[in-house]
Structure 1
Amino acid sequence: MSTRRTALKWTAALAAAAALPAPLAAFAADPVKVGFVYVGPVGEAGWTYAHDLGRRALEAAFPGQVKTTFIERVPEGADAERVIRSLAQDGHQIIFTTSFGYMDATLKVARQFPKVVFQHATGFKTAANMGTYDVRTYEGAYLAGVLAGKMSKSGNLGVVGSHPIPEVIRNINAYTIGARSVNPTATTRVIWVNSWFDPGKERQAALTLIAQGADVLMQNTDSPAVLQAAQEKGVYAFGWDSDMTAFGPKAQLAASEIDWGVWYKKVVGEVMAGTFDAKRQVWYGLKEGAIDLGHLAASLPADAKKLVAERRQGILDGKRPVFAGPLRNQAGKEVVAAGQELADKDKLAMNYYVEGVQGAVPGGK
């Protein structure tokens, strides 16, 4: 199974540092060449689209100082290694590879080009000139869950899941925790499509969930098919990774939006200044401006908007973390004690559903 955007294990620190072999501040009048490798089409919504928005933000932040290149629809595997190596050979000084399945290919090419800076999205392997970066998407999923709990008439929620990996399970759990913080009897049903981007399967999964009684849907897939199905059937849904209002203006309650530009601008700015530490692993969230629940529907009642704002602030100031105890898994076993918060290492390895999620994790606990 292709797993794109999760770390099944991370090395000890999220911010370990190792200086670059050489700063790129000396690239003088020539723009710094920055390459991006995308797993899907740029399109108008979703994961790859969000990365491309970040690329464009990078260009806007450094007018005339950077020249970006992107290659889309690159399969994970041997072809990815060829594409990454081609960018390095073509003189790109910084290369971002934006899919978990690119990890080993990125590491192999990074070792062959020690003077190039490599950044890999969501992985866990590093080198002297290669680090990793990710976003705490579960924070956006939690806020979406708060809205779902507020707006659902039935208390029956649905999620279209991609692959049953910690990243996606984490988002499903956060969504359910958010919903049950508003409606303690809310439940979430999940249908797995085993793909990141398959509009046909995503649509069918959404329609099945709706037929089973779900009136608010979330997804961890890339196309707008779930939102389109919700629009067609008169239920609610959320944009995922980017705003998807255009695909379901009556259905979208809000969008969990990633801002990759926050990291892209930081990396390139520090590399150009010769101050960037390449080997670190970062996990950005609301606090850094890398994830948020935006584009709240104008039709939302004022108390729903106020509640989301309060919960958002609770995450920011640490008074209401998403995975706070007491927290129990689906079997009723306590996984986080009252007054405690789940550690990042345990979030990254999550392989169980929390109370309120129906069904079983494929291959999990």
Structure 2
Amino acid sequence: MKKNLQEKTMKHPFKKILGMAATVAGLAIAGQTMAETKVGFVYVGPVGDHGWTYRHDIGRQAVEKEFGDQVKTTFVESVKEGPDAERVVRKMAASGHDLIFTTSFGFMNPTLKVAKKFPKVKFEHATGYKDSRNMSTYNARFYEGRYVVGTAAGHMTKSNVIGYVASFPIPEVVRGINAIARSARAVNPDVTVKVVWVNSWYDPGKEADAAKTLIDQGADVILQHTDSPAPLQVAEQRGVWSVGQASDMSSYAPKTQITAIIDDWNQYYIDRTKAVIDGTWETSNTWGGIKDGLVGLADWNAAVPADVVAAAEKVKQGIIDGSLHPFQGPVINQNGEEVIPAGQVLDDGALSGMNYYVQGVEGSLPK
């Protein structure tokens, strides 16, 4: 019996080896399937800012909900632009992240620098213009939303002064100011836009003071390109109209928020994460707007007249169907010079480098 057993074993030695190999391969495949894709987010403000960073974090949560155990997300909030950003991004890349989103203009160069040192990691930078083999850029055409709400602001102002709380004099912010001025003056040529720069993305104290200054200067509609609800709270207290930034801020100004411009990153973050999971990620440059779902509007305040809502919605539809562009000619700068004639539209290159005020904006653009 002992001999027969030995013979049986010796007759099929490769079956045993093949069986063991198949088991090992199966475990390897299972391990690969179960491996998490690690996705990191670097934020310039706190997740509770109720604006820019808050909406990016809503996008992060959408990724977690979509992919469940396939993905693990992490984030670092309130990261200063500059050397500190580079340190945070490098640490994230070195800790096994497969995909990293950096979500502020000032993170561009630090992200690019780190991307070159970690070629296997995929990077995505919001609002910038530099890319590489493993670094994409993405942005939203916020100026489209501002052009829509500018129509409402132009109808609703009684003082013909619109106040704008601005962060930094970069093209993205300048486009927003100019879009407001152009759309408001299209329905009310007497409108002027006054700007106060706070040189910060998120500083509730400075933002509140800026809103107070603008109201004291006659503004009865307050807009902003900063991230806290402080300007809306001031507007509510002072009884003037306001527009929310990045998210619906009506809980802070239920009586005076006209609407809010909504930043919606959810689907973009889901799609780019899926591309990494599937192995199909490639460098891309995305600049989407209302039509693409990256920019939306909150519900209109019930106190806004129906004809004003209708006028603004008509503008919105024109942007969606392509019959209207916020910067279709003639575009006249603050000095009365024609930037582009009637019948033409500023292209993306000109919009990306916008460094001038249009007619209707008061003051000088900081250098």
* TM-score computed with the length of structure 1 as normaliser: 0.89
1:143–1:293 CA contact under 8 A, matched in 2 = no
3-state secondary structure, aligned to 1:102:
helix
2:249 maps to which of 244, 251, 264: 244
Query: Cα offset for 1:274?
Result: 2.0
3-state secondary structure, aligned to 2:268:
helix
- Say whether residues 1:342 and 2:351 are aligned partners: no
CA distance in 2, matches of 1:88, 1:176: 42
2:107–2:125 CA contact under 8 A, matched in 1 = yes
- Say whether residues 1:270 and 2:275 are aligned partners: yes
Q: What are the Cα deviations for residues 252-298 of structure 1, in whole angstroms up to 9, with x where unaligned? A: 100011011121111111222222212x2211111210012223212
Q: What are the Cα deviations for residues 187-219 of structure 1, in whole angstroms up to 9, with x where unaligned? A: 111111111111111111111111111100101
- Say whether residues 1:208 and 2:213 are aligned partners: yes
CA distance in 2, matches of 1:344, 1:331: 22
1:254–1:295 CA contact under 8 A, matched in 2 = yes
CA distance in 2, matches of 1:119, 1:106: 8
Residue identity matched to 1:306: A
2:36–2:71 CA contact under 8 A, matched in 1 = yes
3-state secondary structure, aligned to 1:245:
coil
Q: Which residue of 2 aligns with 1:225?
A: 230
Q: Which residue of 1 aligns with 2:187?
A: 182
1:191–1:205 CA contact under 8 A, matched in 2 = yes
CA distance in 2, matches of 1:192, 1:108: 29
Choose between structure 1 and 2: higher helix proportion: 2
Mind listing any 5+ residue stretches in structure 2 that lack a counterpart? 1-30
Q: Which residue of 2 aligns with 1:31?
A: 36
Q: Which residue of 2 aligns with 1:8?
A: none
Q: Which residue of 2 aligns with 1:94?
A: 99
Residue identity matched to 2:59: G
Q: Which residue of 2 aligns with 1:23?
A: none
- Say whether residues 1:316 and 2:354 are aligned partners: no
3-state secondary structure, aligned to 2:68:
coil
Query: Cα offset for 1:30?
Result: 2.0
2:358 maps to which of 351, 354, 357: 354
2:161–2:220 CA contact under 8 A, matched in 1 = yes
Give the ranges of 4+ consecutive aligned residues of structure 1 lying more than 6 Å apart after TM superposition: none
Query: Cα offset for 1:61?
Result: 2.0
Q: Which residue of 2 aligns with 1:75?
A: 80
Mind listing any 5+ residue stretches in structure 1 that lack a counterpart? 1-25
Q: What are the Cα deviations for residues 26-66 of structure 1, in whole angstroms up to 9, with x where unaligned? A: 95212211000111111151111111011111222222221
Q: Which residue of 2 aligns with 1:293?
A: 297
Residue identity matched to 2:85: A
Q: Which residue of 2 aligns with 1:12?
A: none
1:336–1:342 CA contact under 8 A, matched in 2 = yes
Bigger mean CA offset, 79-88 vs 240-249: 79-88
Residue identity matched to 1:357: V
- Say whether residues 1:47 and 2:52 are aligned partners: yes
- Say whether residues 1:325 and 2:334 are aligned partners: no
Identity in percent: 53
1:78–1:105 CA contact under 8 A, matched in 2 = yes
CA distance in 2, matches of 1:358, 1:80: 34
3-state secondary structure, aligned to 1:76:
coil
CA distance in 2, matches of 1:188, 1:63: 46
Which has more radius of gyration? 2
Q: Which residue of 2 aligns with 1:18?
A: none
Q: Which residue of 2 aligns with 1:63?
A: 68
CA distance in 2, matches of 1:167, 1:133: 13
Q: Which residue of 2 aligns with 1:173?
A: 178
1:139–1:292 CA contact under 8 A, matched in 2 = no
3-state secondary structure, aligned to 2:100:
strand
* TM-score computed with the length of structure 2 as normaliser: 0.89
2:259–2:297 CA contact under 8 A, matched in 1 = yes
Larger RCO, structure (CA 8 Å, separation 6 or more): 1
2:89 maps to which of 67, 74, 84: 84
3-state secondary structure, aligned to 1:288:
coil
Supply the RMSD in Å over aligned alpha carbons.
Answer: 1.4
CA distance in 2, matches of 1:140, 1:293: 7
Residue identity matched to 2:123: F
Query: Cα offset for 1:181?
Result: 1.7
